[in-house]
Structure 1
Amino acid sequence: MFRVLNKMFDNNQRDVAQIIKTIVQPVNALEEETQKVEDLAAAFMELRRRVTEGGETLDDVVVPAFALIREAGRRSIGKRHYDVQLIGGYALHKGRIAEMRTGEGKTLVATLALALNALEGRGCHLVTVNDYLARVGMEEMSLLYRTLGLTVGLASREMQPHQKQAAYACDITYVTNSELGFDYLRDNMAQSREALALRAEHPLNFAIVDEVDSILIDEARTPLIISGAAEKATDLYYVYAKLIRRLQKGEPAEPGVRAEPTGDYTIDEKGKQVHITEGGISKIERLLSLSDLYSPDNMDKAHMITQAIRARELYHREKDYIVNAEGEVIIIDEFTGRSMPGRRYGEGLHQAIEAKEGVKIENENQTLATITYQNFFRLYNKFAGMTGTAKTEEKEFLDIYGSDVLVIPTNRGVQRKDAEDLVYRTKMGKYNAVVQEVKEMHATGRPVLIGTASIVTSEQLSDLLTQAGIQHSVLNAKFEAQEASIVAQAGRSGTVTIATNMAGRGTDIMLGGNAEFILGEAIEQQLGLSRYTPEVENFIKAISRQDPDAMQIGMQIPGMNEDFIGQAIQLQADTLADRQRVKDLGGLHIIGTERHESRRIDNQLRGRAGRQGDPGSSRFYVSFEDDLMRLFANDRVVAMMDRLGMDDTQPIEAKMVTGAIEKAQARVEDRNFSTRKQLLEFDNVMSKQRDTVYAQRREVLLGPDADVEESTEGMIADFVDHQLATHLPIDQNHESWDIDGLRAAITDAVPQLEEFDFESLRSKSPAEAQDTLLAAVADAFDARKEELSPTMMNSLSRYVVLQVVDQLWKEHLHGMDVLRQGIGLRGYGQRDPFTEYKFEATTMFNDMIDTLKADVTKFVFRMQFGQAG
């Protein structure tokens, strides 16, 4: 009864059946007709026209598109998509996670969704875990794409910027997850359109993430970070700390008493701001031999001098900070009076205080840009994933990414036999049992793959196998290309391979070995030819299918000779004979030396055997000394083994033990998921801020001149509004308005308003005062534009905004890093750290935006364009 109910409510089976009915069967019905199409590229481009110009959607053309893609695969690379691969391709197109067993051809499946979505002309990305898989995947499938009239490229770390641009401009781009993420971050630090790697329009349209669980779960715990030196010239802070001692603090202008502020700078204690007077600017320029303090080349100097004055006048020892015995400047919390070790003032203020106190200025690695994989891939208009193991993590994929998992049926039934775990008292007893089983398998000639959880275990087992006289290979992840080559041959008879559980991911283990792989390597190494040219690929396929014309096909390739072709023909014959021998022996045998804390990793190891209906088997060996076993195994189990007289040579083999292990794994998975989810919640706060800053930056970088001018004027108006709200609050009597403070703040940023009658605002309503001052600032902006010319003004505005945004965002990231590190301590005060983090992060961000608008206003009105470049 329960089986019937399970079948009735099996959404996966229902979805597969629906795709077969609506997609697979119609595609199959078109196959004969599609085979008659002479020009596949023209037919496919007609579909593009229907999508981009005819108003049709991708779903409208999915059936004819899949039919053309399948035919292109058959003609170009000799691979026809299986029906189950069509199911997988459609799942990817719909933005789902496709779980497909090892050996089911995920590389070919991806071509369906990539080519289909490329019809929109917005670019598609195939994201892999390493450069080797990206290159091989691109080269192997490039002929298929080109047969359809599509362009395909590879974006790699070694490329020059113009090469990256060309790769991302292709219809389909193969790239690693880390390089793609860093390209995105670097693009959001670019100073010109020409410096962008990704497309200017629709940079993140559609992506398929290969080994999606590895990238979006395993690697998601570590964010991408671009860092650099916090301050390149820290010694300048000492210079400026001495310099400002030669400056005189003055008083702001006071109507009726003096029209101009006195001294070299004035202080606004309420806003903790500094205003350098015109006389002060001239004095600083003279002391430093500068022609213009506010030129582009001197922006950093102006900022550091301002911070030096703030450190001297507004931040006081024993009140705002202390200097401990080690010479560190420690901030004092203004609310609690407690010291806050590790916290640092941002925007160079902390370094200025350190210089003032004459202590060592700490040199830090400054975060310039950062993003988590979770938040990065959620930026795509649509993304999908594929892997051999995802169902156990479906809850996380749904909660974090909104993507469910569709388990794709295998093309042939799975023949692998998975035995119950064998549990031993000690690790040594377990290892001895593993070596004994390897001996027995090796004696028959059956290939064995031993999965380990660490390099240490690999080396220990390698020593034991060496002592037992068993020849074997040991794999690690240091050399990706060699690793794939070894794993590809791990199915040969008599082969014993020790590998980490993740080793060789993305490369099939074929029984009897992979003759095509060996032949391709030999062609490159012995003949110096590329294995991915159409002529060579055609030759390799001819050898693989034992084509009688293989010799003739090979001889047409320059550099090929009869001896080499004869060896290739013999290699294929030997491989096929060995494949049958291994099948007769029972196929590849998998030995797991330890249960991983994630069931998904164990399933990956098991999945190395039994590809495409091949026979195979697997067994895990476990000990009570393993970390996972210690999570749930109690002393009574060990005591029971003692009472029964069981020693290291006698294992427990019971479903009860295996079930307990899987329950323990599920608990650990839930705990890890909770940890990742909490980290993501914190990063989501930063993500919203990052989206705001990057959107503003991109608008300025790529927008038309009119938008840049409008954006700059908006920032200037917001700055004026902020100063009005600060100095002329609407809930105060007009006589108590701080007109002097307003004058100092406005004229510091807009010196063109030195002659403006600020006192006249006192007789106006707040709305009238706002309109009057905004109109005056707008007139000053227009005059500035007329002085420079509209074109030059836009170039200046664009340059200033980008420079100021980058500097302040860098400092904000540092402040957020420090806040995140210390926020957990708030829990001791019965306050929710996450709530506190959100509140403080929002306050910091708002302060940064206010500073951004003030700095943009100041530099736009003060900077001389001729020196801007």
Structure 2
Amino acid sequence: MIAGLAKSIFGSANDRYVRGLGKYVDAVNSLEPSIQALNDDELRGQTELFRQRLANGEKLDSLLPEAFATVREAAIRTLGQRHYDVQLIGGIALHRGEIAEMKTGEGKTLVATLAVYLNALEGRGVHVVTVNDYLARRDADWMGQIYRFLGMTVGVIVPNLSDEERREAYNSDITYATNNELGFDYLRDNMKYSRDAMVQRPFNFAIVDEVDSILIDEARTPLIISGPTDDKSDLYMSVDALVKTLGEGDYEKDEKQRSVVLTEDGTEKAERMLEEAGLIEGRNLYDIANTQVVHHLNQSLKANVMFKKDIDYIVKDGKVVIIDEFTGRMMDGRRWSDGLHQAVEAKEGVTIEPENQTLASITFQNYFRMYPKLSGMTGTAMTEAPEFFDIYKMNVVSIPTNVDVKRIDEDDEFYKNFTDKLAAIAKEIKARQEKGQPVLVGTVSIEKSEMLGEFLTKEGIQHSVLNARFHETEAHIVAQAGRMGAVTVSTNMAGRGTDIQLGGNLPFRMQDEHPDLVAGTPEYEAKAEQIRAEIAQEKQRVLEVGGLFVLGTERHESRRIDNQLRGRSGRQGDPGLSRFYLSLDDDLLRIFGPQTMFARLMNKNLEDGEAIVSPWISKAIETAQKKVEARNYDIRKQVVEFDDVMNDQRKVIYEQRADIMDADSVSDVINDMRAETVVALVTVHCPPATYPEQWDVEGLKRDLDEVFGLQPPIDDWMQEEAVEPELIIERVQQLADERMTAKLSEVEPDRWTDIEKQILIQTLDHHWKEHLATLDALRTVIHLRSYAQKKPIDEYKQEAFLLFERLLVAIREEVTRVLMRIEVSFDPPPLPVLPDFITQHLDPFSGDDDTADIDASTGAILSNIPNLNIPQPQMPRGEAAGGVVEAPVSRNSPCPCGSGKKYKHCHGQPA
């Protein structure tokens, strides 16, 4: 109560913070007359003056008022748009590395120009991140007018650019790009063989548009670059045919977790059918030899039971295309991971594409945290403010609207079932259309949007349907959704990028009605003036009937998505109305709602077709949404925790690659590797504190021949009285050094340096790829450790660390082996050429894929990397000093002999 009283008197912390920024706004406004007095050349010259002042030691903050005033004047002269005072506040928040929450229609795109220009003055590059290619191109052209007028360069990154074009765009002062393109370029850069081939430069500052969509929704899934593995189409089809014969009693499904598992009877039934089909070895489905079949069975079961056509995906041109659950868009080129996409393809009877093996991956969290300064803007961020601060250390600042919002948000209407709800929706839409009020109808899936569309057609209601099937006409449909009597049925309005303007949109009407006219010609301007007058007249009529009516047919599991839908109405002070229609059949209520309360309240007390409107029930729905949001946050947090483990290792590998490429010579590194390999081999075969009789001399001779190409007289050395492992190490190292010196004498030093670098980098890449595959496999099974009362993430960290140690050992031995045995030709070797890769945005836990592009149909892997076989020495067994000889391997680690067993069950057993 006291807190509420204080807030009413002094305002919230956000209000006080925003008020504190008023002094900067006043400073910018005070400079406006002097900036307006400058001619175009003088205004353009401001950029060079600012850069000189920075070079003399001034800070960006001291330039802020003048830079903002300069950008505002440039916007007036190029776009005819002047930044409002609240937009200046948004620009300050962005410059400070915060998230500016601004309502739809408040001009976020224009706000970004303030912070972008100020930070681009340093010359280290500014990235503006958008949700799709269309917005990246549009904003680069549109806002680019301001930057180019002020003498700055602007680049845009979209799919299918060459490396040279990408490099040029990244070297611009300002670069517009999608989040996926930036992430994939980072991964590809760290797979290249020279610094010159890289396209990105060191990170500086990024502004993320639709920050909640990119850093929250899409951050559940990491970016993955992959190459294909063996074709298993026949196995997928066979397993799919088997799964289709299972009944509902053969499995249990959990819609909350989106998982499905076989029951005991179902397992028995599947075992017998798989056995008859000859797909499993023996009679037990869960024998280790049948692991792959079990995996395919589980994925096929999930594809058939949990994934629904026209909700989770559609079939288009003989391909399964994923539908984004948040935006309702088609995701061309995106594929589910871990064989799930192949299982859906088998289910639908389309061509099955081969699975892919991970070559590189990173999460958006770890990618964007590499920027020294990061900020963002969106219409809805406050509900996720704790997560933004926890993961990205970014505060959310709610920016007031330029004009007070007049939209009325009514309480939800509840109906007993879907049929009653549909009838009420159609009745309401018809009434609104008859009086000329435009209606935007929000649905949660393609299936629901088309079902509603058919219903409206039967009722004789003219409408447009906006979903993934009409991706190409999306912007045109959205742009005209504010016209008199327009009814637009949309799957989702998140990140559409086009404002709904009451009365219509001039550029789109010109495109639709007069596509043959060229902009700038007298004929074009005459028609444009005519249509402009029609739009103004029509807008006035729309305002008189109440503005845009937003009708939600269902609550989304995230409050942000509902708020984004509502935010389409009431832009820039226009009147508007929003209302949601719900029923007990809705997924949110059915899966997450308090079942007993709703069932008792609604089934017993409601007549058919009757509705309940209650703030109390609306509150209960919001509570259910909060539960789902918390669960999704936990999923994202888990992705980050697991990727943080890999991220530490990725940094080491990528820094090592960069150091190798930058070094004039890597001979010292190679020499150390050779010496350490000798020590490791001798130590394994001749352990310290053991008798020479216990040494595996034959194994040592075999491995020295395999790795070094040496046949040292170890038998003669063994005849010496004072023979020790240290003596053998010293003599083998001497022989290896002599052999290497002889090889060096035959090759030019510069040529040998290039050879060493290539072999070092290629070996590093090859083993890193194998390491990623191992970590992927580990992550899918590590949760089983929880049955032993162990925390999976702690177990994952421990196992991943041991695997990384083995990775470094394997790299060291392989580099030594290749260089010691290599035959050098006199033709200079060409630098390996990286092929195009399949780029994916995959969820390691659910299999969801959020990839924005696919780089190649072939997706070839690194064919130029040799097939490397690491020598695995025999581990000794025996007793010394009264105990078991312990090799430098953890008892629970995989045995180095390659048997696949744990060390304690293999060579670690007592003799």
Give the structure-2-normalised TM-score. 0.73
Q: Is the counterpart of residue 20 in structure 1 residue 22 in structure 2?
A: yes
**Cα distance, 1:635–1:367 mapped onto 2, change above 3 Å:** same
**Which of 808, 820, 837 pairs up with 2:779?**
820
Q: Given that residues 683 and 725 in structure 2 are in contact (C-alpha distance below 8 angstroms), is that contact kept between their aligned partners in structure 1?
A: no
Tell me the residue number matched to 1:490.
481
Q: Given that residues 712 and 732 in structure 2 are in contact (C-alpha distance below 8 angstroms), is that contact kept between their aligned partners in structure 1?
A: no
**1:791-802 equivalence runs, <5 A:** 791-802=750-761
Q: Given that residues 559 and 625 in structure 2 are in contact (C-alpha distance below 8 angstroms), is that contact kept between their aligned partners in structure 1?
A: yes
Tell me the residue number matched to 1:621.
581
What displacement does 1:620 show? 0.6
What displacement does 1:716 show? 3.5
The letter for the 1-side match of 2:78 is S
Q: Is the counterpart of residue 460 in structure 1 residue 421 in structure 2?
A: no
Distance 2:819 2:747 in 1: 11
Tell me the residue number matched to 1:366.
357
**Cα distance, 1:194–1:642 mapped onto 2, change above 3 Å:** closer
Q: Given that residues 363 and 643 in structure 2 are in contact (C-alpha distance below 8 angstroms), is that contact kept between their aligned partners in structure 1?
A: yes
Overall identity of the aligned pairs, in %:
46
Tell me the residue number matched to 1:48.
51
**1:847-866 equivalence runs, <5 A:** 847-866=806-825
1:130-187 Cα deviation digits (max 9, x unpaired): 1111111111111111112111111111222222222222111111122222222222
Tell me the residue number matched to 2:677.
719
**Cα distance, 1:41–1:342 mapped onto 2, change above 3 Å:** farther
Q: Given that residues 477 and 503 in structure 1 are in contact (C-alpha distance below 8 angstroms), is that contact kept between their aligned partners in structure 2?
A: no
What displacement does 1:506 show? 1.8
Tell me the residue number matched to 1:304.
none
What displacement does 1:806 show? 1.7
**1:550-699 equivalence runs, <5 A:** 554=520, 560=521, 562-630=522-590, 631-641=592-602, 643-644=604-605, 646-699=606-659
The letter for the 2-side match of 1:152 is V
Tell me the residue number matched to 2:176.
174
Q: Given that residues 132 and 481 in structure 1 are in contact (C-alpha distance below 8 angstroms), is that contact kept between their aligned partners in structure 2?
A: no
**Cα distance, 1:49–1:833 mapped onto 2, change above 3 Å:** same
The letter for the 2-side match of 1:391 is M
Tell me the residue number matched to 1:102.
104
The letter for the 1-side match of 2:616 is M
The letter for the 2-side match of 1:799 is Q
**Cα distance, 1:9–1:612 mapped onto 2, change above 3 Å:** closer
Tell me the residue number matched to 1:219.
218
Q: Given that residues 717 and 723 in structure 2 are in contact (C-alpha distance below 8 angstroms), is that contact kept between their aligned partners in structure 1?
A: no
**1:534-549 equivalence runs, <5 A:** none
Tell me the residue number matched to 1:412.
403
Q: Is the counterpart of residue 341 in structure 1 residue 283 in structure 2?
A: no
**1:751-790 equivalence runs, <5 A:** 751=709, 781=740, 783-790=742-749
Tell me the residue number matched to 2:119.
117
Distance 2:721 2:574 in 1: 89
The letter for the 1-side match of 2:416 is R
Tell me the residue number matched to 1:33.
34
The letter for the 2-side match of 1:671 is R
> Secondary structure in 2 aligned to 1:788?
coil
**Which of 523, 526, 538 pairs up with 2:516?**
526
Distance 1:67 1:395 in 2: 33
What displacement does 1:459 show? 0.9
1:397-416 Cα deviation digits (max 9, x unpaired): 12222222111111111111
Give the structure-1-normalised TM-score. 0.77
Distance 2:279 2:460 in 1: 59
Distance 2:468 2:783 in 1: 36
**Cα distance, 1:739–1:124 mapped onto 2, change above 3 Å:** farther
- Please, which moves more after superposition, 402-411 or 449-458? 402-411
The letter for the 1-side match of 2:575 is P
> Secondary structure in 1 aligned to 2:143?
helix
What displacement does 1:659 show? 0.9
Distance 1:812 1:177 in 2: 26
**Which of 420, 433, 454 pairs up with 1:442?**
433
What displacement does 1:6 show? 2.5
Tell me the residue number matched to 2:505.
514
Distance 1:13 1:340 in 2: 62
Q: Given that residues 93 and 397 in structure 2 are in contact (C-alpha distance below 8 angstroms), is that contact kept between their aligned partners in structure 1?
A: yes
Tell me the residue number matched to 1:470.
461
Q: Given that residues 330 and 342 in structure 1 are in contact (C-alpha distance below 8 angstroms), is that contact kept between their aligned partners in structure 2?
A: no
**Cα distance, 1:91–1:753 mapped onto 2, change above 3 Å:** farther
Q: Given that residues 118 and 124 in structure 1 are in contact (C-alpha distance below 8 angstroms), is that contact kept between their aligned partners in structure 2?
A: yes
Q: Given that residues 743 and 758 in structure 1 are in contact (C-alpha distance below 8 angstroms), is that contact kept between their aligned partners in structure 2?
A: no
1:775-814 Cα deviation digits (max 9, x unpaired): 7655655554443222111110121122112211111121
Tell me the residue number matched to 1:433.
424
CA root-mean-square deviation:
3.2
Q: Is the counterpart of residue 399 in structure 1 residue 349 in structure 2?
A: no
What displacement does 1:31 show? 1.8
1:406-462 Cα deviation digits (max 9, x unpaired): 111111111111011111111111111111111111111111100011111111111
The letter for the 1-side match of 2:551 is I
Q: Which has the larger share of helix? A: 1
- Please, which moves more after superposition, 412-421 or 375-384? 375-384
The letter for the 2-side match of 1:450 is V
**Cα distance, 1:844–1:760 mapped onto 2, change above 3 Å:** farther
What displacement does 1:818 show? 1.6
Distance 2:720 2:98 in 1: 61
**Which of 190, 194, 197 pairs up with 2:199?**
197
Tell me the residue number matched to 1:237.
none
Tell me the residue number matched to 1:162.
164
1:270-320 Cα deviation digits (max 9, x unpaired): xxxxxxxxxxxxxxxxxxxxxxxxxxxxxxxxxxxxxxxxxxxxxxxxxxx
- Please, which moves more after superposition, 802-811 or 778-787? 778-787
1:537-581 Cα deviation digits (max 9, x unpaired): xxxxxxxxxxxxxxxxx4xxxxx2x43322111011111111111
Tell me the residue number matched to 2:319.
none
What displacement does 1:394 show? 1.1
Q: Given that residues 27 and 64 in structure 1 are in contact (C-alpha distance below 8 angstroms), is that contact kept between their aligned partners in structure 2?
A: yes
Distance 1:522 1:231 in 2: 52
**Which of 800, 804, 822 pairs up with 2:763?**
804
Tell me the residue number matched to 1:544.
none
1:609-639 Cα deviation digits (max 9, x unpaired): 1111111110011112212223334445444
1:350-370 Cα deviation digits (max 9, x unpaired): xxxxxxxxxxxx985211122
Q: Given that residues 220 and 635 in structure 2 are in contact (C-alpha distance below 8 angstroms), is that contact kept between their aligned partners in structure 1?
A: no
The letter for the 2-side match of 1:485 is H
What displacement does 1:666 show? 0.9
Distance 2:283 2:805 in 1: 24
Q: Given that residues 446 and 588 in structure 1 are in contact (C-alpha distance below 8 angstroms), is that contact kept between their aligned partners in structure 2?
A: yes
Q: Given that residues 358 and 769 in structure 2 are in contact (C-alpha distance below 8 angstroms), is that contact kept between their aligned partners in structure 1?
A: yes
1:379-411 Cα deviation digits (max 9, x unpaired): 222222211111101121122222221111111
Q: Given that residues 422 and 653 in structure 1 are in contact (C-alpha distance below 8 angstroms), is that contact kept between their aligned partners in structure 2?
A: yes
1:647-704 Cα deviation digits (max 9, x unpaired): 2322111111111111111111111111221222122222222222122122223x13
Distance 2:721 2:132 in 1: 66
**Cα distance, 1:160–1:628 mapped onto 2, change above 3 Å:** same
Q: Given that residues 483 and 504 in structure 1 are in contact (C-alpha distance below 8 angstroms), is that contact kept between their aligned partners in structure 2?
A: no
- Please, which moves more after superposition, 662-671 or 733-742? 733-742
Distance 1:623 1:865 in 2: 75
Unaligned segments of structure 2, at least 5 residues: 233-276, 295-352, 831-911
**Cα distance, 1:396–1:163 mapped onto 2, change above 3 Å:** same
Q: Given that residues 280 and 290 in structure 2 are in contact (C-alpha distance below 8 angstroms), is that contact kept between their aligned partners in structure 1?
A: no
Q: Given that residues 450 and 498 in structure 1 are in contact (C-alpha distance below 8 angstroms), is that contact kept between their aligned partners in structure 2?
A: yes
Distance 1:610 1:363 in 2: 49
